[in-house]
């Protein structure tokens, strides 16, 4: 193994191969601190050519590879196991903005570019890259692609699948698939980039991507509104779509328990509380006053419990900070059994009502913290209390998950809407996913990675 490490150091440079425990420690623990690994080493390649060379070396020595971006996974997708035999390949050094094509509205970046850096590169060119996540200062484009990230603007712009024009990836045998063309129409066979989007590094290593850009909005209208129930929220969503079309960029919901968590950790930010809060944002070209006036006129015709309309960019950012701070505030508040679920938007009220009733029957007094992207049916549905005197919340995790996922799949939903599957949900995926779909995906895995060296121990 010393010979392998020496050859690896020759590829990436000795200073970019980490072997001491103190140096590898930041790469061994997932964001939620649920999964702790012990890698053989951490390699930090600086180019696609270096990635290709190290993959070929790993295949020759039968060393498994765990790709890692910003290490913001909430389901252990980028964490090595405890065997000490897996190589973490961290991609932060692949951080070049290769090309900005404003005429084609396309941006080509390497996998280690953070989401925020991609947004800034687009904005500097007078364009918008619309993916937006709370972790955007840390998460990387490669990880966003590997999990098919969504975020708060999916309602208007779609997930990473819709936002990706081309891809560059290193296959498990070290060959490089380079399809970075910024084409929006190409009917020459299968769209191979889609194999790697959402695959969580199990089919190869994404090294670069060409992403869609959009006109940079010059106007925003943002409001936070208190409503009586989730049924009213979904009715509002449909009326807003009818009135404003694709100018409706985001429609986020937060239940009462979610608001209480925020109030504990950000009391100065909470403008008011209600059974449900909705955060609405419109965006467009032209002037902000006109867009604000249009939203004000629409709101004046609706029934609401309370509301606030951002009057300037500072107030707008304050409202969005509340939404972005939910996950971190909940982490400070204590452990929770997290669910990144989605159902058809029309089924959200039934899910919220019926699932809560069954959880309360099984665990009287259960506390549910629910928030998320109602515009695309994606709810972060987290259980942070099950029963009095229970020292270990996760003793009840299997029972809680079974109740939640049974409801989700009964309504035609999914257990992983945007955070991926990783280690956390792999057994549940096997239980609920169409067996034929899983068989086909595993067949693709065997065809591309017959030795099973790409991110083993995850859901494939």
Structure confidence by residue, pLDDT tens digits, 297-307: 999 999 999 99
How far apart are the C-alpha atoms of 21 and 11, rounded to whole Å? 21
Rg (CA), the chain: 23
Instruction: Please state the length of the chain.
Output: 460
> If you average pLDDT over residues 53-77, what whole number do you get?
94
pLDDT at 92: 96
* Average pLDDT over the chain, rounded to an integer: 94
Mean pLDDT of 272-296: 95
**What mean pLDDT is predicted for residues 276-283?**
97
Is the pLDDT at 75 greater than 90? The verdict is: no
Phi and psi based region of residue 106 (left: phi greater than 0; alpha: psi -120 to 50; beta: remaining): beta
Residue-by-residue DSSP string for 175-225: -EEEE----S---SS--THHHHTTSTTSS-EEEEEEEE-EEPPSEEEEEEE
Q: Is the pLDDT of residue 1 over 80?
A: no
Q: If you average pLDDT over residues 104-131, what whole number do you get?
A: 97
The answer to pTM > 0.95 is: no
pLDDT at 387: 84
Whether 393 and 321 have beta carbons less than 8 Å apart is answered as: no
Angstrom distances, CA of residue 217 to CA of 163, 220, 348? 17, 7, 30
Checking if the pLDDT of 272 tops 80, the result is yes
pLDDT computed for residue 34 by the predictor: 84
Q: Which domains does the chain have, with CATH numbers?
A: 2-90 (3.30.43.10), 97-215 (3.30.465.10), 219-328 (3.30.70.2190), 334-421 (3.30.70.2740)
Order of strands, edge to edge, in the sheet holding 106-110?
Answer: 97-101, 106-110, 205-212, 164-170, 176-179
Mean pLDDT of 322-328: 89
Tokens of 218: 């010059």
pLDDT at 361 over 80: yes
φ, ψ dihedrals at 348, nearest 5°: -60, -45
Q: Mind listing the pLDDT tens digit for each residue in 132-190?
A: 988 889 999 999 999 999 988 999 999 999 999 999 999 999 999 999 999 999 999 99
Q: Which of 252, 249, 210, 288 is nearest to 130 (CA)?
A: 249
C-alpha 424/C-alpha 420 separation (Å) is: 9
Parallel, antiparallel, or unpaired for β 64-68 and 86-90?
parallel
């Amino acid at each position: 193994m010393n010979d392998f490490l020496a050859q690896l150091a020759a590829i990436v440079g000795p200073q970019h191969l980490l072997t001491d425990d103190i140096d590898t420690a930041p790469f061994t623990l997932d964001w939620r601190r649920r999964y702790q690994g012990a890698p053989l080493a951490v390699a930090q390649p600086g180019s696609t050519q270096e990635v290709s060379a190290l993959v070929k070396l790993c295949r020759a020595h039968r060393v498994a590879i765990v790709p890692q971006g910003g290490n913001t996974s909430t389901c252990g997708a980028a964490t090595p196991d405890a065997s000490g035999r897996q190589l973490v390949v961290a991609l932060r050094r692949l951080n070049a903005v290769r090309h900005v094509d404003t005429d084609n509205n396309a941006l080509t970046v390497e996998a280690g570019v953070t989401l925020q850096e991609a947004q800034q590169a687009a904005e500097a060119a007078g364009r918008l890259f619309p993916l937006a996540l709370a972790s955007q200062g840390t998460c990387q484009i490669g990880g966003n692609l590997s999990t098919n990230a969504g975020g708060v603007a999916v309602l208007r712009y779609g997930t990473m699948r819709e936002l990706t024009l081309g891809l560059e990836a290193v296959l498990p045998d070290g060959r490089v698939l380079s399809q970075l063309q910024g084409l929006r129409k190409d009917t020459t066979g299968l769209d191979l980039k889609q194999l790697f989007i959402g695959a969580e590094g199990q089919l190869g290593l994404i090294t670069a991507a060409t992403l869609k850009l959009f006109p940079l909005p010059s106007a925003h209208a943002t409001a936070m509104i208190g409503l009586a129930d989730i049924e009213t929220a979904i009715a509002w969503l449909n009326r807003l779509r009818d009135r404003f079309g694709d100018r409706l960029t985001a429609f986020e919901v937060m239940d009462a328990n979610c608001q209480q968590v925020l109030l504990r950790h950000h009391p100065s930010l909470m403008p008011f509380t209600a059974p449900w809060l909705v955060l609405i944002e419109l965006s467009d070209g032209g002037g902000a006053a006109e867009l604000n006036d249009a939203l004000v006129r629409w709101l004046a015709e609706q029934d609401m419990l309370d509301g606030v309309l951002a009057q300037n960019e500072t107030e707008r950012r304050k409202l969005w900070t509340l939404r972005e701070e939910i996950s971190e505030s909940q982490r400070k508040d204590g452990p929770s059994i997290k669910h990144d679920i989605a159902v058809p938007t029309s089924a959200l009220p039934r899910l919220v009502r019926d699932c809560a009733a069954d959880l309360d029957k099984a665990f009287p007094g259960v506390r549910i913290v629910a928030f998320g992207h109602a515009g695309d049916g994606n709810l972060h549905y987290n259980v942070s209390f099950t029963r009095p005197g229970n020292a270990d919340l996760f003793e009840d995790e299997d029972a809680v998950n079974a109740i939640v996922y049974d409801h989700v799949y009964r309504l035609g939903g999914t257990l992983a809407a945007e955070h991926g599957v990783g280690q956390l949900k792999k057994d549940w995926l096997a239980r609920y996913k169409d067996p034929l779909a899983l068989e086909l995906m595993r067949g693709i895995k065997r065809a591309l990675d017959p030795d099973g060296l790409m991110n083993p121990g995850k859901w494939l």
